[in-house]
């Protein structure tokens, strides 16, 4: 072993690092999602929801929730030895919109988490990524007690382009979130290849 070289003399693989956003409405499971897959202790910026915030914080449908993200979540996952994702969870509340442009800079793609009981809460995130041509997939976070809808019904309700992947997931399950991340990376790669091709032809 000579200064960090592996025993067999192979040069260490320099991984490609990609930035992925985890977005969606208030309390849809963004912080949970980053925490479920991150291999490092996720950085969180949670603050207590207070009585003072009640008039501005719309907690309908998430009454059990007592903290909220005020800046971002940050985590990391190695998908393959040569591919590392940095995950940035956005704050869910409208009053933190000013942070989004900062977080979105350099992002390869995004997951928009959706709760079918409050589907309209993810409209703003969908609009945001559509306008900026940032590839995104919809991750329907299947809360217990929420009605299950076919992915095509969700696609229709959100008026999505036919090529936007919609996947069902459980934000608490590592493997489930990992599947959504693989989907977003593949989708972004496919779009990038298509865009390259349309430039060269
Ligand atoms: N049953 C169930 N509960 C979930 C799931 N995902 C998240 N939760 C719970 O829902 C609540 C909200 O989760 P968070 O991860 O804080 O949501 P968030 O989107 O980060 O919220 P904000 O940052 O405030 O917008 C927490 O109490 C979670 O434990 C899920 O898939 N199923
Ligand atoms: Mg959060």
CATH number of the domain to which 124 belongs: 3.40.50.300
The per-residue pLDDT for 54 is 67
Report whether 89 contacts 31 (CB < 8 A). Answer: yes
**Residue 141 structural domain:** 16-200
Burial 154-189 (b: 16+ CB within 10 A, else e): bbeebebeeebbbbbbbbeeeebbbebbebbbebbe
CA distance linking residue 148 with residue 187, whole number of Å = 24
Residue indicated by tokens 């900026």: 132
The mean pLDDT value for 111-124 works out to 95
For residues 57 and 120, the model is more confident at 120
Q: Structural domain tally of the chain?
A: 1
CA distance linking residue 158 with residue 129, whole number of Å = 13
Task: Grade residue 4 by pLDDT with cuts at 50, 70 and 90.
Answer: low
The CA 70 to ligand 2 mean position distance, Å, reads 8
The CA 52 to ligand 2 mean position distance, Å, reads 19
The CA 194 to ligand 1 mean position distance, Å, reads 35
φ and ψ of 104, to 5 deg: -80, -15
Torsion of CA 82, 128, 115, 165, to 10 degrees: -50
The CA 48 to ligand 2 mean position distance, Å, reads 11
Q: What is the mean pLDDT of the chain?
A: 91
Lowest model confidence (mean pLDDT) among 47-51, 76-80, 105-109, 140-144? 47-51
| Ligand 1, atom nearest to 172 Cα | 31
In this prediction the pTM is 0.91
Question: Which one of 171, 173, 179 would you pick to mutate in the ligand 1 pocket, going by the greatest count of ligand atoms within 8 A of its CB?
Answer: 171
Atom 2, ligand 1: which residue's CA is nearest? 143
Length of the chain in terms of residues written = 201
φ and ψ of 36, to 5 deg: -70, -35
The CA 194 to ligand 2 mean position distance, Å, reads 33
CA distance linking residue 22 with residue 49, whole number of Å = 21
Residue 5 has pLDDT above 60, yes or no: no
Reduce the DSSP state of residue 129 to 3 states and report it: helix
Q: Is 94 within a domain?
A: yes
| Ligand 1, atom nearest to 26 Cα | 25
Integer angstrom CA distances of residue 29 from 38, 113, 156, 191, 193: 14, 7, 22, 27, 31
Question: Which one of 23, 31, 49 would you pick to mutate in the ligand 1 pocket, going by the greatest count of ligand atoms within 8 A of its CB?
Answer: 31
Q: Is 29 within a domain?
A: yes
Proportion of the chain above pLDDT 90, given as a percent: 75
Residue 1 has pLDDT above 50, yes or no: no
Q: Is 5 within a domain?
A: no
Q: Is 31 within a domain?
A: yes
Tell me the two tokens of residue 127. 């609009």
The per-residue pLDDT for 16 is 94
Reduce the DSSP state of residue 20 to 3 states and report it: strand
The per-residue pLDDT for 10 is 61
Q: Is 6 within a domain?
A: no
Q: Is 124 within a domain?
A: yes
Q: Which residues pair with 48 in a beta bridge?
A: 67
Q: Is 3 within a domain?
A: no
């Amino acid at each position: 072993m000579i200064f960090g070289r592996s025993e067999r003399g192979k040069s260490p693989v320099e991984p490609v690092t990609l930035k992925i956003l985890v977005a969606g409405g208030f309390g849809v499971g963004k912080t949970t999602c980053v925490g479920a897959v991150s291999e490092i202790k996720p950085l969180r910026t949670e603050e207590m929801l207070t009585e003072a915030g009640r008039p501005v914080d719309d907690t309908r449908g998430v009454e059990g929730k007592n903290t909220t993200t005020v800046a971002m979540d940050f985590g990391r996952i190695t998908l393959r030895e040569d591919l590392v994702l940095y995950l940035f969870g956005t704050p869910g509340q409208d009053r933190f919109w000013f942070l989004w442009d900062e977080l979105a800079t350099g992002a390869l793609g995004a997951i928009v988490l959706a709760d079918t009981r409050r589907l309209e809460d993810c409209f703003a995130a969908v609009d945001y990524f559509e306008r900026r041509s940032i590839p995104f997939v919809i991750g329907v976070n299947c809360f217990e007690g929420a009605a299950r809808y076919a992915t095509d019904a969700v696609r229709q309700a959100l008026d999505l382009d036919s090529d936007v992947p919609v996947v069902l997931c459980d934000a608490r399950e590592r493997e489930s979130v990992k599947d959504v991340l693989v989907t977003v990376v593949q989708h972004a790669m496919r779009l990038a290849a298509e865009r390259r091709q349309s430039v060269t032809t």
